Structure 1
Amino acid sequence: MTTLLIFTDLDGTLLDHHTYSFQPAQAAMQSLKTFSIPCVINTSKTFMELVALRKALNHQDPFIVENGSAVYIPKHLTLTVNETLEDCGEYWRKSFGPKRAELIALTNDKQDQYTFKRFSDMTWQELVALTGLNETNAKLAMQREFTEPMVWTDSNLALRIFRDDLAKFDVQVQKGGRFAHLMGKNCDKANAMLWLKAVYAEQSDEEITTMALGDGENDVGMLSKADIPVVIRSPVHAPPEIPNRSDAWLSDAYGPEGWAQAINLALTKQGIL
């Protein structure tokens, strides 16, 4: 027997790219709850953004924030972790990278060489204009702990040089759907997913099968390391290529509708539905 473990991106995947609605995915999410299949959120969003969203989703499982920078495990879960974790109130936290302040300091002198604008350079009003978020959610998105998103308006060549420049400091740049994200080199959706998979494997006598769903370049690592990689179609960009994975699924529908189709297909293939 195998145990299914779901990892999902949010924007453009579980949430609609334009409206941020998850309504088309609700029935499939309920199926996961019914069959006690964990659904781990793995997102570029912050802890503070997820507080309200997890309530709306009635999400009880672990979650991964800021592109794999940290894993939060709710204390009510009976997950045993064989290492020391940070105590964050209702959660245990496993961190993978440096704090945000270090990333800001490191890039302060780069604005003469490259054209970009970081979250720390923006007002919440500017972020609202860029994303369509409301005031409350924009302010939550700016409360980051481990990463610094930025609008990159320079060339792709300049981005490659910028990446090489920061690599010397163990910092990487990942391109998401809307923003380029500065983060520590070990901050990665795939690393966080595999760490949490190992935690679940410790508690189970069955083999763990991971299914990952995402739509952007910053999901490629996670998708490439999942047992079942699912690319969700986006209304605004071409599906990302998943290297060496000819078995990757591509949803027919966009966003949460495509997400629900993929979940239901997986549950059917696993003999659960």
Structure 2
Amino acid sequence: MTRLLVFSDLDGTLLDHHTYSFQPAAQAFQALKTFTIPCILNTSKTYAELTQLRTELGHKDPFIVENGAAIYIPKQLGLPVDDSLEDHGEFWLKSFGPKRDALLQLISQYKNEYQFHGFSEMQWQDIVALTGLSEEKAKLAMQREFTEPMVWKDSNNALNTLKKTLAPEGIQLQKGGRFVHLMGAECDKARAMLWLTECYQDHFQEAVSTMALGDGENDIGMLSKADIPVVIRSPVHAPPEIPYRSDAWLTDGYGPTGWAQAIDQALIKQGIV
């Protein structure tokens, strides 16, 4: 039996799209801890947001922030370390893209050509109105290091045109559940997942099997590269299609309810319970 690694999106997946509650998934999340199965959070959220959320969840595993822009690895886990990692207090930090300041400088050139509104131009009250987050959590969401979420107010054709314009600069635009995310071309949930999977294989000295759970377009890459791809049903949009993966699971339940169903099913299939 191969070791299992779980990679999970947060908003709309482990967390309810409307309330941000994870309670329907709490028992399944605890089951992963009981069976010492790492659950790596792979999200568009920031380090600041994850610091608080991990405390609420009792989460001790690595986490991937800002749509694959960086990985934070708790030093106490003893995973392999190489020269590409930065010392970040109790974590090792692996980053995949440029800092946010460089992105803001680049995108400012296109403000007169396209209609968009970035986080850097907003107040916390704007974030609350857009997301339903509390004041405290909205301020945490604004503490971005590697990416810039934007409210895209232009057409899809305009978005595709800007994507092509930015590509030679090594910059990408990725559509998420609520925002379009501006970030380095190397920043990708799938790339971060595969990099960390190799770390765990080296650590365990055996093959591992990956399970990925997500609900949005920005999860497609991660889902397509996982051994067990799970599309979490959303109350607000159609399930994303995973190219060339007819084996992808689609949950019956929405958000954290569907998440828990998928985890329970995987534990049974793996012969763990």
TM-score, length of structure 1 as denominator length: 0.99
1:96 alignment counterpart: 96
Supply the distance in 1 between the matched residues of 2:208 and 2:82 (Cα, whole angstroms).
18
1:43 alignment counterpart: 43
1:234 alignment counterpart: 234
Supply the distance in 2 between the matched residues of 1:256 and 1:11 (Cα, whole angstroms).
9
Shift of residue 151, structure 1, vs aligned partner: 0.3
Supply the distance in 2 between the matched residues of 1:262 and 1:83 (Cα, whole angstroms).
37
Written as runs of structure 1 = structure 2, the 5 A alignment for 1:42-81 is 42-81=42-81
1:201 alignment counterpart: 201
Shift of residue 101, structure 1, vs aligned partner: 0.4
Shift of residue 82, structure 1, vs aligned partner: 3.4
* 2:217 is the alignment partner of 1:217: yes
- Where 1:195 maps in the other structure, the secondary structure is helix
- Give per-residue Cα distances to partners, 1:71-108, cap 9 Å, x unaligned: 00011112113334101111000000000001100011
- Give per-residue Cα distances to partners, 1:149-207, cap 9 Å, x unaligned: 00001111000001011112100000000000000000000000000000000012332
Task: Please tell me the root mean square deviation across aligned C-alpha atoms, in Å.
Answer: 0.7
2:177 alignment counterpart: 177
1:141 alignment counterpart: 141
Supply the distance in 1 between the matched residues of 2:187 and 2:209 (Cα, whole angstroms).
22
1:131 alignment counterpart: 131
Supply the distance in 1 between the matched residues of 2:228 and 2:151 (Cα, whole angstroms).
31
Which runs of 4 or more aligned residues in structure 1 lie more than 2 Å from their structure 2 counterparts after TM superposition?
81-84
Supply the distance in 1 between the matched residues of 2:205 and 2:96 (Cα, whole angstroms).
27
Shift of residue 257, structure 1, vs aligned partner: 0.3
1:85 alignment counterpart: 85
Supply the distance in 1 between the matched residues of 2:127 and 2:32 (Cα, whole angstroms).
34
1:150 alignment counterpart: 150
- Where 1:117 maps in the other structure, the secondary structure is strand
| Number of residue equivalences | 273
Amino acid at match of 1:39: C
- Where 1:168 maps in the other structure, the secondary structure is helix
User: Could you tell me the percent identity over the aligned residues?
Assistant: 68
Supply the distance in 2 between the matched residues of 1:115 and 1:205 (Cα, whole angstroms).
50
- Where 2:210 maps in the other structure, the secondary structure is strand
Amino acid at match of 1:141: A
Gaps of 5+ in 2: none
Gaps of 5+ in 1: none
Amino acid at match of 1:112: N
Written as runs of structure 1 = structure 2, the 5 A alignment for 1:238-253 is 238-253=238-253
Amino acid at match of 1:265: Q
Amino acid at match of 2:227: D
- Where 1:76 maps in the other structure, the secondary structure is helix
Supply the distance in 2 between the matched residues of 1:95 and 1:198 (Cα, whole angstroms).
16
- Where 2:76 maps in the other structure, the secondary structure is coil
TM-score, length of structure 2 as denominator length: 0.99
Supply the distance in 2 between the matched residues of 1:26 and 1:200 (Cα, whole angstroms).
25
- Where 1:220 maps in the other structure, the secondary structure is helix
- Where 1:245 maps in the other structure, the secondary structure is coil
1:19 alignment counterpart: 19
